């Protein structure tokens, strides 16, 4: 499963990239706003930090203006992936862009039927929001299972990009179901490293090493 980081914080992206685990980046207008910086400038800098897809979202709601915004965004770098909402106009834009060879991430997916429509429109990625789904009394992981089944039934090439991930269990469950990508805040990626027995093991090794009075350097 690919790991994308969901942030517009340059320092966080650099830190994740240094681990060798980063396969791409997702952003949205809210994340860019938190950075307090120019949208185009931030997106261009992020694209230089990873060879993987960098999702940059249009803000228009009508197809013609989405296409105009996408034209500007995809000139930023070759690895820009245009992010569009799961609406009729969003899918019109998706179809037009992917037919032209541009990567498209269809976002704000909350049903398997929506995911089916996105795949038929040629989406590169579909972004089901599992955390928000859970918040509203639904089962986010059941949504991922349904999408995986449908996509496998018809050999759709659209990749399932699990979004709105809140904790490590979401990552584990997504991987077991067979999701293609998980996009996570930096804090969730860091939480995957942690385990109480790992911490205890390191403490024990260091204590035993200290008793020897030796030094490697």
> Whose CA is closest to 60, among 83, 78, 40?
83
Strands (E), the chain: 2-6, 24-26, 54-57, 80-85, 104-109, 125-128, 159-162, 181-184
Task: Specify if 158 maps to a domain.
Answer: yes
Q: Give 143-181 pLDDT, tens digit per residue.
A: 999 999 999 999 999 999 999 999 999 999 999 999 999
The 10 Å Cβ neighbour count of residue 217 is 2
**pLDDT at residue 202 greater than cutoff 90:** yes
**pLDDT at residue 215 greater than cutoff 90:** yes
Q: Give 91-143 pLDDT, tens digit per residue.
A: 999 999 999 999 999 999 999 999 999 999 999 999 999 999 899 999 999 99
- For residue 110, what are the CA distances in angstroms to 21, 42, 209, 213? 28, 28, 52, 58
Specify the number of domains making up the chain: 1
DSSP state of 197: H
- Position 34 scores a pLDDT of 81
Active-site residues, by number, are: 83
Task: Specify if 156 maps to a domain.
Answer: yes
**Any idea what the Cα angle at residue 16 is, between residues 194 and 73, rounded to 5°?**
140
Average pLDDT, the chain: 96
**pLDDT at residue 3 greater than cutoff 90:** yes
97 within 8 A of 82, measured Cβ to Cβ = yes
Taking each continuous run of H as one helix and of E as one strand, the counts in the chain are 11, 8
Mean pLDDT of the region 69-89: 97
Task: Specify if 210 maps to a domain.
Answer: no
Task: Specify if 211 maps to a domain.
Answer: no
Q: What pTM, to 2 d.p., does this model score?
A: 0.94
CATH code at position 78: 3.20.20.70
Task: Specify if 199 maps to a domain.
Answer: no
Dist CA 59 CA 165 (whole Å):
23
**pLDDT at residue 28 greater than cutoff 90:** no
- Position 144 scores a pLDDT of 98
Task: Specify if 26 maps to a domain.
Answer: yes
What does R_g of the chain's alpha carbons equal in angstroms? 20
26 within 8 A of 183, measured Cβ to Cβ = yes
State the residue range of the domain holding 181.
2-192
- Position 33 scores a pLDDT of 84
**pLDDT at residue 32 greater than cutoff 90:** no
């Amino acid at each position: 499963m690919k790991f994308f980081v969901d942030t517009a914080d340059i320092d966080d992206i650099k830190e994740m990239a240094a681990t060798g685990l980063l396969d791409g980046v997702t952003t949205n207008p809210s994340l860019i706003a938190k950075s307090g910086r120019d949208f185009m400038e931030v997106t261009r800098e992020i694209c230089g930090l990873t060879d993987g897809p960098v999702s940059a979202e249009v803000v228009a709601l009508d197809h013609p203006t989405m296409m105009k915004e996408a034209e500007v965004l995809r000139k930023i770098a070759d690895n820009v992936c245009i992010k569009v909402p799961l609406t009729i106009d969003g899918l019109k834009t998706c179809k037009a862009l992917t037919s032209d060879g541009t990567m498209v991430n269809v976002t704000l997916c909350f049903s398997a039927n929506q995911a089916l429509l996105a795949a038929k429109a040629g989406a590169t990625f579909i972004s089901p929001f599992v955390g928000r789904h859970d918040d509203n009394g639904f089962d986010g992981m059941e949504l991922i299972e349904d999408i995986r089944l449908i996509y496998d039934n018809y050999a759709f090439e659209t990749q399932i990009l699990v979004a709105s991930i809140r904790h490590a269990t979401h990552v584990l469950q997504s991987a077991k179901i067979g999701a293609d990508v998980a996009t996570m805040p930096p804090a969730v990626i860091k939480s995957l490293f942690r385990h109480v027995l790992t911490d205890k093991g390191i403490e024990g090794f260091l204590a035993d090493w200290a008793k020897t009075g030796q030094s490697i350097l």
